[in-house]
Amino acid sequence: MSDQIDNVLHENRSFPPSAEFQQNAHISSREQYQRMYRESVEHPEVFWDRVARDLPWIEPYEQVLDWSDAPRARWFTGGKLNASAVCLDQHVANGKGDKVAIRWEGEPGDRRDLTYRELLTEVSRFANVLKARGVRKGDRVAIYLPMIPELAMAVLACARIGAIHSVVFGGFSARALRDRIEDGQCTAVITADGGWRRGKVLPLKREVDEALEHCPDVHTSLVIARTENDVAWQNPRDVWYHEAVREVADTCEPEPMDSEDLLFLLYTSGSTGKPKGIMHSTAGYMVGTYLTTRFVFDLQPDDVYWCTADVGWITGHSYIVYGPLANGVTQVMYEGAPNAPAEDRFWDICERHGVTVFYTAPTAIRAFMKWGDEHPQKHDLSKLRLLGTVGEPINPEAWMWYRRMIGGERCPIVDTWWQTETGGIMLTPLPGVTATKPGSACMPFFGVDAAILDSAGKELGADQGGLLAIRKPWPSMLRGIWGDEQRFRDTYWSKWPDRMMYFPGDGARRDPDGYFWILGRVDDVINVSGHRLSTMEVESALVSHPKVVEAAVVGRPDDLTGEAIVAFVIPAGGVTENQSVTNELMEHVATEIGKLARPAEIRLTDALPKTRSGKIMRRLLRDIAAGRERDQDLTTIENPAILDQLRGNA
């Protein structure tokens, strides 16, 4: 972490918004931001009440916030609304039914545009199919789909009938899918025969079939025909969507949901144990994603917005499905890889669709840099007016390239810090106000009381690295971990035991201007390409292989993916010259969790460095993996002789 601190300390470039951008922005002056911010943290009930009035309530709420049972927050208590009606019905009712909601493009180049009216009809039919299959309010439905319009429809159809969706990213393996279905006790799955990825079919249904061998409680597997590859079939469980949808009506009343009824579960990795089913509820989440999308992306009526994330992650939930649709924006949705058929695919899409607001990840930006300037230069990107990033700290070099090459030095960049747990953006520039600094997530969003504390809870001064804390509840905050209340309290609310403050697990500092700089995770979570993986999960996958005795996994800095996974493995029978074992183990992790968890490097060793009490010295392993030599306190190490072998000098 100290390397990163050095890195960012020297960054003093600053880029204020242009007068033109500022003029038309929703929030356009520092004074306006400060006035609104002050109200939002001093009188959150007043602030959020005003925001929430924008939503189409079925029944009004009685109280804005009830924090008496902290850390279980209740926002907008007593109110009723439906998230799909916020996203669809209200726009159709307000005369925007013919506006395009989604401009979808498949990887092979096929296209589909859906207006708000058409999307409402499709979602209603989808909801009716779910109902016909016996899915009821409160049931959990797993969604395992490629980035096709049906993914957004499936999510909204669940919301419409009050079923709790649990989207599982299509890159996860059958095993990971099964774990999530089991943990959430899902009773139905929505999938596709396959999806397109770099010209190849990802056989999604095959993974589902394998997962469902162990999930007898799943009564329905609803299958969308996308790639028309051969699939196995099990009656009566498996149902083709296009057949089922012929039998149902075009309209479906949205279920009136209590503000605190769960909207979805989304699994994410923690430093210990199995993935956590993060719970989000209806009203607070909708209010939070509605407002952050509107202000952070400064949405204007004619914008063409594009978030390149997958709906399988929180970014896609909040900033493809719920936030943008709640705001009635026109958005692009794309199925495939950024380099299919060529490295200019994203810029080709931006040009052809006239994208104005573009939101992507630092790891993607670094890949674009590597692929070369000629790819964006081939395209007219002059319609772009705002850029965003999310998922990991962005290195200033990538930030500057993004600004110059994609943003034409005119577009503000919003570097947004948030998490699966926060539901929506927490730290961010406001594009019409903030003079941005490359690498900084800048300022707290409205209602976010962020601070840098030490482990005793003392607030630290300017430029002192410490722990990021959120000191007050916010509407889109997580409501718990599915089935594990204790873990919810322990993980997020116990860092500072005598005060009810949220601990996100990130280190950060604040510069003398009050800007936040995220320094990365302080726990055993690795951030690979903006995706969280726990060292523990990868270790369990490794030791489940018969040829592994013990394993320790750490992250090392990587130019492209931010961090890469390095595994130190004690093989059964000791270390021999055996390359094929490492390949086999890499494959094994990919099968157990998914390709995103495949270690970049596996080092075989006869022992791991341990303390006398038997704890693996991960800090040491991190240094070795990164090739860093530094003076470490080695007095506690039980077996110092192992260090040479680990460094590869044995």
Q: Which of 420, 529, 534, 535 binds ligand WT7 (CB under 6 A)?
A: 420
Can you tell me the distance from the alpha carbon of 85 to that of 77, in angstroms, rounded to the nearest whole number?
19
Q: Which of 314, 350, 451, 589 binds ligand WT7 (CB under 6 A)?
A: 314
Question: By CB under 6 A, which span of 7-15, 343-351, 403-411, 502-510 interacts with ligand WT7?
Answer: 502-510
Q: How far is the CB of 243 from ligand WT7 (least distance, A)?
A: 36
Q: Name the residue nearer to ligand WT7 (CB basis): 338 or 530.
A: 530
**Residue 419 within binding range of ligand WT7, rule CB under 6 A:** yes
Q: Name the residue nearer to ligand WT7 (CB basis): 107 or 415.
A: 415
Q: How far is the CB of 520 from ligand WT7 (least distance, A)?
A: 6
> Tell me, what amino acid is at 491?
T
Q: Kindly list the distances between the CA atom of residue 188 and the CA atoms of 155, 265, 281, 321, in Å, as whole numbers in the listed order.
A: 13, 14, 20, 21
**Long-range contacts of residues 597-601, Cβ cutoff 8 Å, at least 24 apart:** 597/528, 597/533, 597/537, 597/538, 597/541, 597/565, 598/565, 599/538, 599/553, 599/565, 599/566, 599/567, 600/556, 600/558, 600/564, 600/565, 600/566, 601/556, 601/564, 601/565, 601/566, 601/567, 601/625
Q: Name the residue nearer to ligand WT7 (CB basis): 173 or 529.
A: 529
Q: Name the residue nearer to ligand WT7 (CB basis): 123 or 519.
A: 519
Q: Which DSSP helix (H) or strand (E) runs through 155?
A: helix 149-161
Q: Name the residue nearer to ligand WT7 (CB basis): 279 or 441.
A: 441
Closest CA to 325 of 337, 335, 316: 316
Q: Whose CB is nearest to ligand WT7?
A: 420
Q: How far is the CB of 62 from ligand WT7 (least distance, A)?
A: 32
Can you tell me the distance from the alpha carbon of 561 to that of 556, in angstroms, rounded to the nearest whole number?
10
358: helix, strand or coil: strand
Q: Which of 103, 532, 556, 618 binds ligand WT7 (CB under 6 A)?
A: 532
**Residue 535 within binding range of ligand WT7, rule CB under 6 A:** no
Q: Kindly list the distances between the CA atom of residue 189 and the CA atoms of 132, 239, 247, 593, in Å, as whole numbers in the listed order.
A: 14, 10, 19, 19
**Residue 524 within binding range of ligand WT7, rule CB under 6 A:** no
Q: Which of 105, 193, 449, 506 binds ligand WT7 (CB under 6 A)?
A: 506
Sign of the C-alpha dihedral computed for residues 46, 49, 54 and 60 taken in this order: negative
Q: Name the residue nearer to ligand WT7 (CB basis): 390 or 406.
A: 390
Q: Name the residue nearer to ligand WT7 (CB basis): 120 or 296.
A: 296
Q: Which of 244, 441, 478, 541 binds ligand WT7 (CB under 6 A)?
A: 441
Q: Name the residue nearer to ligand WT7 (CB basis): 229 or 419.
A: 419
By the 8 A CB rule, do 608 and 570 touch?
yes
Q: How far is the CB of 334 from ligand WT7 (least distance, A)?
A: 18
By the 8 A CB rule, do 556 and 564 touch?
yes
Q: How far is the CB of 116 from ligand WT7 (least distance, A)?
A: 26
By the 8 A CB rule, do 305 and 316 touch?
no
Q: Which of 504, 555, 571, 594 binds ligand WT7 (CB under 6 A)?
A: 504
**Residue 307 within binding range of ligand WT7, rule CB under 6 A:** no
Beta carbons within 10 angstroms of residue 640's beta carbon: 10
**Residue 530 within binding range of ligand WT7, rule CB under 6 A:** yes
| Residue 10: exposure state from Cβ atoms within 10 A (0-12, 13-18, ≥19) | exposed
Q: How far is the CB of 322 from ligand WT7 (least distance, A)?
A: 14
Q: Applying CB under 6 A, what is the total number of residues that bind ligand WT7?
A: 23
Residues 342-401 that bind ligand WT7 (CB under 6 A): 390-393
By the 8 A CB rule, do 286 and 262 touch?
no
**Residue 416 within binding range of ligand WT7, rule CB under 6 A:** yes
Interstrand relation of 330-334 and 100-105 (parallel, antiparallel or unpaired): parallel
- Residue reference for tokens 């074992």: 581
**Residue 7 within binding range of ligand WT7, rule CB under 6 A:** no
Q: Name the residue nearer to ligand WT7 (CB basis): 115 or 420.
A: 420
Q: Which DSSP helix (H) or strand (E) runs through 192?
A: strand 188-192
Q: How far is the CB of 530 from ligand WT7 (least distance, A)?
A: 6
Q: Which of 115, 124, 187, 268 binds ligand WT7 (CB under 6 A)?
A: 268
Q: Name the residue nearer to ligand WT7 (CB basis): 128 or 315.
A: 315
Can you tell me the distance from the alpha carbon of 432 to that of 446, in angstroms, rounded to the nearest whole number?
15
Q: How far is the CB of 491 from ligand WT7 (least distance, A)?
A: 12
Q: Which of 179, 303, 415, 539 binds ligand WT7 (CB under 6 A)?
A: 415
Q: Which of 315, 395, 529, 605 binds ligand WT7 (CB under 6 A)?
A: 315
E strand spans, 505-647? 506-510, 516-521, 525-528, 531-534, 548-558, 562-571, 601-604
Q: Which of 527, 534, 535, 561 binds ligand WT7 (CB under 6 A)?
A: 527
Can you tell me the distance from the alpha carbon of 302 to that of 426, in angstroms, rounded to the nearest whole number?
26
Q: For binding to ligand WT7 (CB under 6 A), which residues are involved?
A: 268, 314-315, 390-393, 415-420, 441, 504-506, 518, 521, 527, 530-532
